[in-house]
A and B are shown apart, each in its own frame.
Chain A
Amino acid sequence: MKRFIGFVRKEFFHIMRDRRTAAILFGMPVLQLLLFGFAIRNEISEVRTGILDLSHDVVTKKLTDKIFSSGTFVASAVLNSGKEIGKAFASGKMNEVIVFEPGFAGKLQRDGTAQMQVITDGSDPNVSRIVTGYTESVVRDFLREKSNAAGAPVGVEAVPVMKFNPALKSVYLFVPGLMAMILMLVSALMTSISITREKETGTMELLLVSSLKPIQIIVGKVVPYLLLSFVNVLTVVGLAFFVFGVPCRGSLALLLAESLLFIMTALSLGIFISSITNSQQVAMMISLAGLLMPTVLLSGFIFPVASMPLPLQAISNIIPARWYLVIVRAIMLKGAGIAVLWKETLVLMFMSLLFMTASVRKFSERLQ
């Protein structure tokens, strides 16, 4: 046991002495969360809008006022003809142009319907969709107020409610994904590098000749990163809650326990990688290309798994982050318990066990 503690202490020295490692370990989670939380957002706070009013009547005037009073839309230009629309978009000054048809108020009065056109910049489909949605909801509001005043509610209205995230905040989406990504990076990448480094510098030769058992070496490498990753989980959850107001609706203890499980999975993957490679470079490449990329792209972090083509969906099943993501979202945002998540938990357990056994077996007590 003493030997083991000595080994773990040495690992901590390595981590703390290497400023770059320490910076990555502790700086990255904070930096990434702030980056994703503040800079990279799906919601749009300022829709620069141009109005092409071909009707110039009371209703279009009122509707325009209504749009700009919401705070989301900013009047950017008043256009005089349809020819100016293309130019306005090309210059990039405009997110949206609203066109009212001639005789807008009259038609609305007479036929009960009038046409307005919402033109958005299709080169950025995400922004376009969101902007169009905002505009529609403002117009819907306006019509409801108008008909309420008239005292004659007509028609069916679908009122969308976004459960668990009514404001559709993108931080809610990023936090679970970010947790998966950071843990993958810290646990898998760092352990695989730290073991291959010993192989590269020749110290592994000495460790092997010492009376340490392989399992002691492996567990000794795992323990420090397990603790550090756990600190990272606490940091991310804490920051998410205090800075961005992301709640943890389910049991915090369960969330932490599941995170520990995911850390174990990532660590065993990292050790497995290091047991099949001999250089830090290769270990890093495998970790980045083989683990980090799929974690970002195929886990459902950014692109929903359900909308992927079938082969990719199949691949996503073997990515640990996919299962962890389901767990974190369910616990944090939906307040789900283990009764719902037992399947995902089992998958992660199975994966950890598999990689751990494989790496203990592959770990060679001699040089190749």
Chain B
Amino acid sequence: MTQAVTTEGLSKRFGKLEALRQITFSVPEAELFGLIGADGAGKTTLFRILATLLLPDNGKASLLGLDTVASYRQIRTRIGYMPGRFSLYQDLSVEENLDFFATVFGTTVKENHELIREIYDQLEPFRKRRAGQLSGGMKQKLALCCALVHRPELLLLDEPTTGVDAVSRQEFWQMLGRLKQQGITILVSTPYMDEASLCDRVAFMQDGRIMAIDTPTGITRLFTKPLFAVRALDKHRLINELRAFGYASSAYAFGNAVHYTDLRLSPEPQELAAWLKSRGFDDVEVQRIEPGIEDTFMALTESSRPEQEPSDG
């Protein structure tokens, strides 16, 4: 299979901050590849290097078989890039923005209408509205439209769903799925863990490193410890008590429950429940569950912490 993106030991530092450390990964054509990580993990820097906007300090990256440093001009015409911040002209209307980006790439909206039709149909009613007055979801759809208008072979989407409501996020991901079916390779970053499961493969980034790359199910398999969902009325105190428990590995809020992992290989839920009851939680409920992708990321984050901050006890 041909690789749409390959990187080898990409590093970038801004002064003292090491934004990227030895990033190596590759994305085959027509894959929907997700980059997951908290703010400051280095996702945007990686995107900018791939979009030929930044030069790496070390390492190489190539897109569609072209080197990002040497052949940046060719790459620029063949990729679609959507920066993290909404970066369209707020004082131009939806239509004018689209027309502008089409002409700048030497094409017309009409020529590529069928590719963007589905998204554009939703924007159609707001055709004359200024981009600055669109809702968050609409803005992102317009930005996607603008990034697609020249029929790119590769899409780089930097946090396209940040600050977008749940319904629009879902619609957005459905669109990405359909674009993938048309053979477009998509690299997308997101801080939302639930979106990771919608990708073909995901890379989990932290502190400029890729901690793990796998399919969403493959990633959850990295989670080896038994996991419990603990429920009680006073969730806040529950977390504190769980963390104080002698064998506790981690405890964090997850929805209306607290997810708890133990240091031992096969802990007994009854023992935990009994201990909590003795601490005054009469309504406590302990249940063994399968880890989701978010639990895996939490675990990956936790396990890398001591190495990063040795002083942090």
Chain A contact residues, CB within 8 Å of chain B: 2-3, 5-7, 9-10, 13-14, 17-18, 201-203, 205-212, 365-367
Contacts and interface: CB of A to CB of B under 8 A. Distances in A.
Contact of B83 (A2, A7, A206, A210): A206
Contacts of B99: 6
A206 B87 contact: yes
Interface in B70-100: 72-73, 76-77, 79, 81, 83, 85-92, 96, 99-100
B106 A211 contact: yes
Contact of A205 (B53, B90, B92, B106): B53
A3 B85 contact: no
B159 to A, nearest CB: 13
Contacts of B48: 205, 367
A3 B103 contact: yes
B92 A203 contact: no
Nearest to A201: B87
B104 A202 contact: no
A201 B90 contact: yes
A128 B97 CA distance: 61
Contact of A203 (B72, B73, B88, B106): B88
B125 to A, nearest CB: 21
A271 to B, nearest CB: 19
Contacts of A201: 85, 87, 90
The residue among A5, A207, A210 with the most chain B CB atoms within 10 A of its own CB is A210
* Top 8 A-B residue pairs of the complex, sorted by shortest distance between their CB atoms: A6-B103, A202-B87, A17-B91, A211-B77, A210-B104, A202-B85, A367-B53, A209-B81
Nearest to B106: A3
The residue among B90, B103, B146 with the most chain A CB atoms within 10 A of its own CB is B103
18 contacts: A2-B106, A3-B105, A14-B89, A17-B92, A18-B91, A202-B83, A205-B48, A206-B83, A206-B87, A206-B146, A207-B104, A209-B52, A209-B53, A210-B76, A211-B105, A367-B48, A367-B53, A367-B54
B106 A366 contact: no
Interface in B89-137: 89-92, 96, 99-101, 103-106, 130
The residue among B53, B92, B101, B130 with the most chain A CB atoms within 10 A of its own CB is B53
B284 interface: no
A208 B90 contact: no
B51 interface: yes
The residue among B53, B72, B83, B104 with the most chain A CB atoms within 10 A of its own CB is B104
Contacts of B96: 10, 13
Given A3-B104, A205-B83, A211-B104, A13 B91 contact: yes
Contacts of B77: 211
A9 B85 CA distance: 24
B53 A210 contact: no
A209 B72 CA distance: 9
A215 B51 CA distance: 20
Nearest to B51: A209
B76 A209 contact: yes
B211 interface: no
B87 A210 contact: no
Nearest to A203: B87
Contact of A206 (B54, B81, B90, B103): B81
B175 interface: no
Interface of B: 48, 51-55, 72-73, 76-77, 79, 81, 83, 85-92, 96, 99-101, 103-106, 130, 146
B76 A10 contact: no
A7 B104 contact: yes
The residue among A13, A203, A206 with the most chain B CB atoms within 10 A of its own CB is A206
Contacts of A212: 104
A205 B85 CA distance: 10
A3 B48 CA distance: 24
A233 B105 CA distance: 35
Contacts of B85: 201-202
A3 B150 CA distance: 13
Given A205-B87, A211-B104, 14 more contacts: A7-B104, A13-B89, A13-B91, A14-B89, A201-B87, A202-B85, A202-B86, A203-B87, A203-B88, A205-B81, A206-B87, A209-B52, A210-B105, A211-B76
A366 B55 contact: yes
A101 B35 CA distance: 98
A367 B44 CA distance: 13
Nearest to A368: B54
A266 B29 CA distance: 49
A212 B77 CA distance: 9
Given A13-B91, A14-B91, A210 B52 contact: no
Nearest to B76: A209
A202 B104 CA distance: 16
Contacts of B72: 365
Contacts of B104: 3, 6-7, 207, 210-212
A6 B53 contact: no
Contacts of A18: 91
A10 B91 CA distance: 10
Contacts of A3: 103-106
A365 B100 CA distance: 20
A13 B88 CA distance: 14
A5 to B, nearest CB: 8
B107 to A, nearest CB: 10
A209 B89 CA distance: 15
B274 to A, nearest CB: 56
Nearest to A364: B53
Contacts of B73: 211
Contacts of B81: 205-206, 209
Nearest to B97: A10
A15 to B, nearest CB: 10
A210 B101 contact: yes
A13 B79 contact: no
B83 to A, nearest CB: 5
A7 B100 CA distance: 7
A5 B86 CA distance: 25
A203 B92 CA distance: 12
Contacts of A207: 104
